[in-house]
Homo-oligomer: A and B are copies of this chain.
Amino acid sequence: MEIVLDAVEKGALSVVGKRVPRVDGAEKATGQAIYVDDISLPKMLYGKVLRSPLAHARIKNVDVSRALCLPGVKVAISAQDLPDTCYGPFIFDTPVLARGKVLYVGDAVAAVAAVDEATALEALALIDVEYEELPPVFDTDFAMDPEAPLVHENQEAYIKTFQAVQKGNICSHTTFIEGDVEAAFNQSDYVYEDSFTTQMVQQTPIETNGTVADYDISGRLTIWTCTQAPHLMQIRICDGLHIPINKIRVVGLRTGGGFGGKVEPKTQIIAAALAQRAGKPVKLVLTRKEEFTVTSPRHSSKITVKTGVSKEGKILARTVKAVFDTGAYADDGPGITGFGGMMSLGPYKIPSYRIDGYCVYTNKMGAGAFRGFGNPQCAFATESHMDMVAERIGIDPVEFRLKNVLQNGDLSVGGIPMPSVGVKECLEKTAKAAGWGKFLGKNRGMGVACLQHISGVLSSSAIVRIHGDGTATVFTGAIDIGQGSDTTLSQIAAEELGLPMEAMSIVAADTASTPYNWAVTASRITRTNGNAVRLAAADAKRQILELAARFLEVSSEELEIVEGQITVKGSPERAMKMHDIGGISHWATRGPIIGSASVMVEGHKYDPEKVIGFPFGTMAGFVFGSHIVEVEVDEATGRVQVVNAVAAHDVGKAVNPTGVEGQIQGGLVQGLGYALFEEIIYDEKGKVINDTMLDYKIPTALDAPNITPLIVEETDPGGPFGAKGVGEPTLVGTAPAIANAVKKATGVRIMDLPLNMEKLWREMKKR
C-alpha cells in the first residue's frame, strides 16, 4: 500500500524535536527495571561453560560422564550432543561448542547445567578433554604468511552470506577502487604515507552477557536475555540448534550497555541447548573474566594510508591498506573490515582511491562489532594522517579539512549520492565553539578530527494500534539498550498521529510481541525503525481519518489530528475526539485500528567492478561529525588530561535533543578510553592478562572533560522527519582528535593506540 506522508514544515512539529523525558527513565533511576540476572524461575538451573586452556589444539576426546555423575548436575554436553552445524553473520564458522579444534584460550568446549553455580563449577572440573596442541597464530602479519598454520582448515566449505575473497587465514579481502590512482599520485604535488596500529579493546558493558533459557514440552524455546537484537538472535539459534523461528521466543530485557557486543550470541545458544536437554530453565551469565576474554572486542588493526595532495591543499588520491585481526571467528569481521576501509576516505571528496581491507583469522577471541564498526580504527589512522599532511604542507588542519569536505550531492564510495552532508557546518561550529587557534599555554594543545558514518541498513517493521480510549501503542522489534529508542520511536509515532506523548506507550524487543527488526546496530534505529514506525502510524492515521470522515461528513483529506482532536482543517469546531474514534472502531463500525509497515533500506547498488568482496550490497544514509579536543599533558609523567571537548554531529533532525546530547557525551568519553588507556593484553600463550576491571581501566566521570555537544540538522530526505542516526559516530572522532591535540601540546606524534602515559613519556623523553 502506498502511504503518503504529510510534508512537515520546519518548526511545525509538536513532539519531535522536543526535550522529552525518557519513557524508561523512572524505572531505571529507581532500580525497578528488570535485567537478566533479576530473572529467577522455579526449578531454574545454572549453566557454566568449560573453556579451552589452549590457544590452538585438536580435540581428541571430550568425556562428560564423570560430570554427569556429580549429584546436582542435570546436563553436561559437548559438540557431539549438538547438530553438526555452525552459524555466523557473514561466514558460518562458529560452532555452538568447539568441534574438532579449539581456536583460542576461552573457546567453549563443553557446558553443564546444575542446581547451583558451585555444583556447575565443580562439574566443569570433572569433564575430561584430551587435546593435541597445535602451533598458534597470534599476529596478522604471520597469519597472512602462506606458511602459517591455518586457524580454520576448511573455511572454503563454510556457508557464506556474501561473495568473500578468501585465502589461507584471510577470511575476507575487500577492495574499493575509483579512478586511476597511480596517475593521480603522479599528478599530486605531495604524496605522504603513514602507518598506524590500533589495539584490541573490550566492550565492558556494566552488565555482562547473560541468558535465561526455557524449553517447554511443546518444543517452544523462550530466551530472556540482554541483547541488541532479539529477532536476529532467533535466526542464530535457528541456525545453531535447528529450531524453527516460530518456536523461538526471545525476550529482550533491559540491557546494561550494548555497544555491538550484544548483537551476536554469547550465552543464548548454549543456554538454549542446556535448557532443551534439562527440560527446566537454565540461567547462564558470564563472569566478568569471561566477558573480558571470550566476548567480541574491537578488532586490532594495522593501517597504512597514503595521500596525494596538490599544493593548494586539495586531496587528489588515496590508498589505504587496513588489516584487521578478527581472532578465531569471523563474526562481523568481514563487514567491519570492509566498512572501516570504506570510511577511511573520511568525509572528504577524493577523486581517486584504492582501499584494501583484510580480515584475518588468528588464535585470539573472535573480535566483532563495537560502536563504530571499523570506523574508529580507520578514522584514527586517516584523521591523524590528515593532520600530518596538513603540517607537512603547512596548512592549518581545520582549513585543510574545509578545503576537502564533502558537500550535498557528492558521491560516497561505490558511487552512492549523499543528499544530506552536514560535515562543513559541524567543523565550522566546533572550531568556533572551541576557539580554534586561540592561545592555550604550555603543555596544552587542541586537535580536530572529522568523520563520516552510516545510518540505517536492512529491514525493520512496526505496528501501531489505537485503543478503545483513543490512546495508542507502538510495537517495535528495536530494543532500548539505553540509547533512548523507546522514547524517540514513541515521539515519531505521536507526531505522526497528532497525539501527545502521554497517549503513547511502546512495546519493544520481545519477538512474541513485536514485529521484526534486524538489530540495534549501525546507528539505524532512529532512521530505519523510525521510518517503519512513522509509516505504521500513518497507516493507522489513514484509517482513523477515513472513519472520522464518515461522521464529520467530509472527505478524509480535509481532516487533521491536533493534540488528540480530529478536526476539519480550517473549521476546528467540527471535531471528534480520538477517544470517540477508538470507541467507534472497537464497538460499532469497522473493528480496531491496526497500522503496520515494513521498510527495507534498498539504498543504491554498487558497481561490482569497483567494490569487490564487500559484504553489503547497498548502503543507507550518511551522517557526519566533527570533534575538537583540548588536552593538557603532564611533562613529568606523560599523563594526558582532556580538558575540553566540543563535538558537533549532523543528525538530520534531533528527535529528542537531550538524547542526542547524551549520545555525544557517552560516545566521546568511550572514545577517550580507546584513545588513552584501554587495551586488552595477551601473553605469549594467547591468554588475556588484564581480565578484570582493576587491571583493565575504562574512563569514569573523573576522566571526562567538559563536553560541549552541538547539534547540526542537515535534513535527511530518507529519514523520519529528516532524522538520521547518532549512536556510533560520536565515538569515532575522539581518538584522532586527541592524538592531534597531543602532537600540538608536545610535538610528539603517537601512531599506535592507546596513547598511554608510558608510551607518550618514552616518546617525549626521546626528543
Question: Which A residues form the contact surface with B (CB < 8 A)?
Answer: 1, 23-24, 26-27, 30, 32, 38, 40, 42, 216-218, 220, 234-235, 238, 244-247, 458-461, 463, 465, 467-469, 471-473, 502-505, 507, 510, 512-513, 515-516, 518, 532, 585-594, 596-600, 602
A463 is contacted by which of B460, B518, B589, B596 (Cβ under 8 Å)? Answer: B596
A220 contacts B512, C-beta separation under 8 Å: no
**Do residues B461 and A220 form an inter-chain contact, with CB atoms below 8 A?**
no
Partner of A589, one of B247, B591, B600: B600
Q: In the complex, what's the smallest C-beta–C-beta distance from A335 to chain B, in angstroms?
A: 14
Q: Which residues of B contact A30 (CB under 8 A)?
A: 217
Residues of B within 8 A of A518 (CB): 586
Distance A461 CA – B475 CA, assembled complex (angstroms)? 15
Q: Which residues of B contact A597 (CB under 8 A)?
A: 591
Whether A592 pairs with B244 at a CB distance below 8 angstroms is no
- B587 touching A459, Cβ below 8 Å: yes
Query: In the complex, which residue of chain B has the Cβ closest to the Cβ of A531?
Result: B591
The answer to whether A592 and B216 touch across the interface, beta carbons within 8 angstroms, is no
Copies in the complex: 2
> Which B-chain residue is minimally distant from A499 (CB atoms)?
B246
30 CB-based A-B contacts, threshold 8 Å: A26-B216, A27-B216, A27-B218, A32-B216, A234-B467, A234-B468, A244-B469, A244-B502, A245-B469, A246-B469, A246-B473, A246-B504, A459-B587, A461-B591, A461-B594, A463-B596, A473-B512, A507-B513, A510-B512, A510-B513, A516-B586, A516-B591, A585-B598, A588-B600, A590-B600, A591-B597, A591-B598, A594-B596, A594-B598, A596-B596
- Bound-complex Cα distance A516 to B518 (A): 26
Min Cβ gap A253→B in Å is: 14
Task: Return chain B residues, CB-CB under 8 Å to A234.
Answer: 467-468
B587 touches A458 (CB 8 A): yes
B-chain residues with CB within 8 Å of residue A590 when the two chains form the complex: 598, 600
CA distance A505 to B518 in the complex (A): 21
B513 contacts A472, C-beta separation under 8 Å: no
- Known contacts A32-B216, A458-B587, then 8 further A-B pairs from the complex at CB < 8 Å, ordered by chain A residue: A26-B216, A32-B217, A463-B463, A463-B594, A465-B515, A516-B592, A585-B598, A596-B596
B244 with A468: CB separation less than 8 A: no
B residues less than 8 Å from A32 (CB atoms): 216-217
Provide the bound-state CA to CA distance between A532 and B592, in Å.
Answer: 11
List of 3 A-B pairs having minimum Cβ-Cβ separation, nearest first: A591-B598, A246-B471, A513-B513
Instruction: Report A620 CB to chain B, min CB distance, Å.
Output: 13
How many Å lie between the Cα of A26 and that of B279 in the bound state?
A: 13
Q: Are B246 and A592 in contact (CB under 8 A)?
A: no
Report how far A465 CA is from B517 CA in the complex, Å: 12
B27, B585, B593, B598: which contacts A592 (Cβ < 8 A)?
B598
